Amino acid sequence: MSVERNFDVAVYGATPGGIGAALGAARRGLRTLLAEPTGHFGGLMTSGLGRTDIISREACGAVFREFADAVLDYYAGTYGSDSEQVKQCNRGLFFEPSVAMRILKEMVAREELIEVRLQCELSRAHVEQGCLRRIDLTDASGSGQSFAAGVFIDATYEGDLAAMAGVPYRLGRESRDEWNEEYAGRLYMNFDPTKEVFPGSTGEGDDRIQAYNFRLCLTQNPENLVPIKRPSSYNREDYVSLLRDVAEGRVKSIRDVSNMLPVPNGKTDCNNHHYCMCSTDLPEENTAYAEGSREMRESFIARQRSYIQGLLWFVQHDEGLPAAFREEALTWGYAADEFQDSDHFPPQIYVREARRIVGEYTFTENDARLSPGLERAPIHHDSIAIGDYPIDSHATRKREPEGQDKALEGFLGLGWLTKVYQIPYGVIVPKGVDGLLVPVAVSASHMGFGTIRMEPCWMQIGFAAGIAAQLSIARGVTVRELSVDVLQDTLLAENQRITYFDDVDWADPARKAAEYFGTKGFFTSYHALLSEPVTVTEASLLAARIRSLPGCGAVPMLPASSQVLPAGVDMGPRLPKQEAPPNEYWSAQPYLPAAMAERWLQAVARALHVPSGAATVERPGDEASAAMTRGKLLQGLYELLSAARSYT
């Protein structure tokens, strides 16, 4: 092994999660290695997954929002702001693979502190006294080199670095009992709108892993079409069950075999079809992939690729299918201007799930559903990002009688139950090993992983990992010891989203404060109502809650009276006992006066030893008795708290 090289941060895996991590670290001044074991850059976002799995653009921030903005700018600049391509790109969330590649490479190239190395495979992880210190990488020529770093980030889909470093991990599916997940374990669910659950759904756990596939970029444009070729290992028996599906009317065209999701310029993100029992997924055969050797993985990838190519050939040419069916299927082919280095077939297999680390917190189905008694998903004080996609899983078994020709075991979608959720820092901090963060193979149950596993989500979690790495190095603490509040302050300053509200505009000056306090339990729904007056009840509870935060034990309580006068102002004459008792007074005047709020904020600043100008709060009205709005109070408080943390 050659002489080691030193980096501040070393990221293994040039997936969107890895790219996000490298950008987060490099933008804050750290020399960053971005190493990828394959020759492909960008993971699935540059390999056919052009319909990014995120419901709302408002649920993304930081680097993924930048990426989406760049996609929109590209189509507007290339084709015009009123073009069909701009409409088809859905505000930058839908794109061609080549466009994603261009933009991600440009984002990374702008950062001089990032060194990208492709075809560098991990051969050894050096852990000393419980901390990952170095990794050995071997390039395509067989030459090896050792790399040291202050913090390592495993951004591979498989969790390979974490596993080699000795981090404990999970594989397969938990039973319903383990995490009290309603839909965990063995399940036969009809994917149609009924979501009917069939008998045989016992909820037992097992070692099965949801199916993989490739996300094809197909087209019907004859000027940009490459015909489908028959693979050399074609096996007709893999697809003959489709003949009965077609004959009985369950499958009517190639669009029922593969889900043709449109992206700009007449192309598709072609995925497995939810309602087809024989689509582009290949259940059961990927079970050994997660822990497999390189040779085993390459063998399975070749099998998956050949299987999909054979499926396309079958629907276009098999004489057991109606002529009209085949003729329509023949109008489809590979997009000639995509994946030109890999015979127009996507280079990256879609590893939907492999290893999942055991971290400081385990994200489950319950973390992405309404929390009982609240009108939002559970609140996490250490939230570092948010997710917005239905919990789902692809099949773990091939067709069985229990599925009644409608369901494959393990295939599910909980769109009507999943809510926008917070992602706690603990899911990327592995147990047992320091000096390492894992933003892709995160700590989650199979069900919880079914929503976190989306590329926009991974990119934002990766960005948070890069920021956390920088802060831990700068402050001389481990990533496990890092102050979550300092991390959240930094993420918010970098335009990350850590909480979601459906009534807070991105440009609202109080948005970041609302998001911060949204992780501390101040809001019980997705409505922040920042322009509404804040009650003294809310303010008193907020004061108590703030004192529980690290470094905030000195924060004083709210003034007990709205009649506190400045020192030097004569208080008399006055007959206090003839005035309304406090409980009656506040019952009649439930809202927090602006002047009273200002006095409290001044006291908070003194208690935290923060300069008085650290928080600028505009009074909502001209009169001293005007009620303080929720947004302005939270903004003022957050500015003081973040300023206090910046001094420590």
Q: Could you tell me if residue 178 is inside a domain?
A: no
Same-domain status, 34 and 158: yes
How far is 547 from 540, CA to CA, in rounded Å? 11
Q: Domain end: 460, 493, 526, which one?
A: 493
Per-residue pLDDT tens digits for 255-270: 999 999 999 999 999 9
What is the residue range of 84's domain?
A: 2-173+354-365+424-493
The confidence score (pLDDT) of residue 622 equals: 53
Q: Domain end: 309, 342, 375, which one?
A: 342
Taking CA atoms, 118 is separated from 114, 156, 645, in Å, by: 13, 13, 39
Region for 144 from its dihedrals, namely left if φ exceeds 0, alpha if ψ lies in -120 to 50, beta otherwise: beta
Same-domain status, 617 and 483: no
The β-bridge relationship of strands 421-424 and 131-138 is unpaired
Same-domain status, 524 and 482: no
Neighbours of 200 (CB within 10 A): 15
Q: Could you tell me if residue 268 is inside a domain?
A: yes
Q: How confident is the model at residue 620 (pLDDT cuts 50, 70, 90)?
A: low
Per-residue pLDDT tens digits for 454-489: 999 999 999 999 999 999 999 999 999 999 999 999
Q: Number of structural domains, the chain? A: 3
Positive or negative CA dihedral for 632, 636, 642, 646?
positive
- Own/partner pairs, 84-89, CB within 8 angstroms, 24+ separation: 84/264, 85/264, 85/265, 88/262, 88/263, 88/264, 88/265, 89/263, 89/264
Q: Could you tell me if residue 635 is inside a domain?
A: yes
Same-domain status, 525 and 472: no
For residues 619 and 160, which has the higher predicted lDDT (pLDDT)?
160
Q: Could you tell me if residue 128 is inside a domain?
A: yes
Q: How confident is the model at residue 58 (pLDDT cuts 50, 70, 90)?
A: confident
- Average pLDDT, rounded, for the chain: 96
The confidence score (pLDDT) of residue 159 equals: 98
The confidence score (pLDDT) of residue 631 equals: 96
How far is 351 from 47, CA to CA, in rounded Å? 12
For the chain, the farthest-separated pair of C-alpha atoms sits apart, in whole angstroms, at 103
Q: Could you tell me if residue 395 is inside a domain?
A: no
DSSP-H helix ranges across 389-535: 446-452, 455-475, 484-493, 511-518
Q: Domain end: 308, 342, 376, which one?
A: 342
Q: Could you tell me if residue 212 is inside a domain?
A: no
How far is 367 from 418, CA to CA, in rounded Å? 9
CA triple 532-538-544, angle to 5 deg: 145
Q: Sort 610 into a burial class: Cβ within 10 Å, 0-12 / 13-18 / 19+.
A: buried
Q: Could you tell me if residue 270 is inside a domain?
A: yes
Same-domain status, 28 and 141: yes
Residues of the chain with pLDDT > 70, as a percent, come to: 97
Same-domain status, 38 and 120: yes
Per-residue pLDDT tens digits for 218-254: 999 999 999 999 999 999 999 999 999 999 999 999 9
The confidence score (pLDDT) of residue 623 equals: 59
The confidence score (pLDDT) of residue 5 equals: 87
Taking CA atoms, 299 is separated from 285, 342, 395, in Å, by: 11, 17, 21
Q: What size, in residues, is the chain? A: 648
The confidence score (pLDDT) of residue 618 equals: 65
For residues 17-31, give the mean pLDDT: 98
pLDDT of 648 strictly over 90: no
Q: How confident is the model at residue 190 (pLDDT cuts 50, 70, 90)?
A: very high
How far is 606 from 601, CA to CA, in rounded Å? 9
Q: Could you tell me if residue 130 is inside a domain?
A: yes
Same-domain status, 157 and 277: no
Same-domain status, 119 and 261: no
Per-residue pLDDT tens digits for 114-167: 999 999 999 999 999 999 999 999 999 999 999 999 999 999 999 999 999 999
Same-domain status, 227 and 273: yes
For residues 596-607, give the mean pLDDT: 94
Same-domain status, 527 and 631: yes
SS3 79: helix
pLDDT of 434 strictly over 70: yes
Q: How confident is the model at residue 616 (pLDDT cuts 50, 70, 90)?
A: low
How far is 156 from 351, CA to CA, in rounded Å? 10
The confidence score (pLDDT) of residue 624 equals: 56
Q: How confident is the model at residue 56 (pLDDT cuts 50, 70, 90)?
A: confident
CATH number, position 84 = 3.50.50.60
pLDDT of 621 strictly over 60: no
Same-domain status, 225 and 165: no
Same-domain status, 328 and 448: no
Per-residue pLDDT tens digits for 72-126: 999 999 999 999 999 999 999 999 999 999 999 999 999 999 999 999 999 999 9
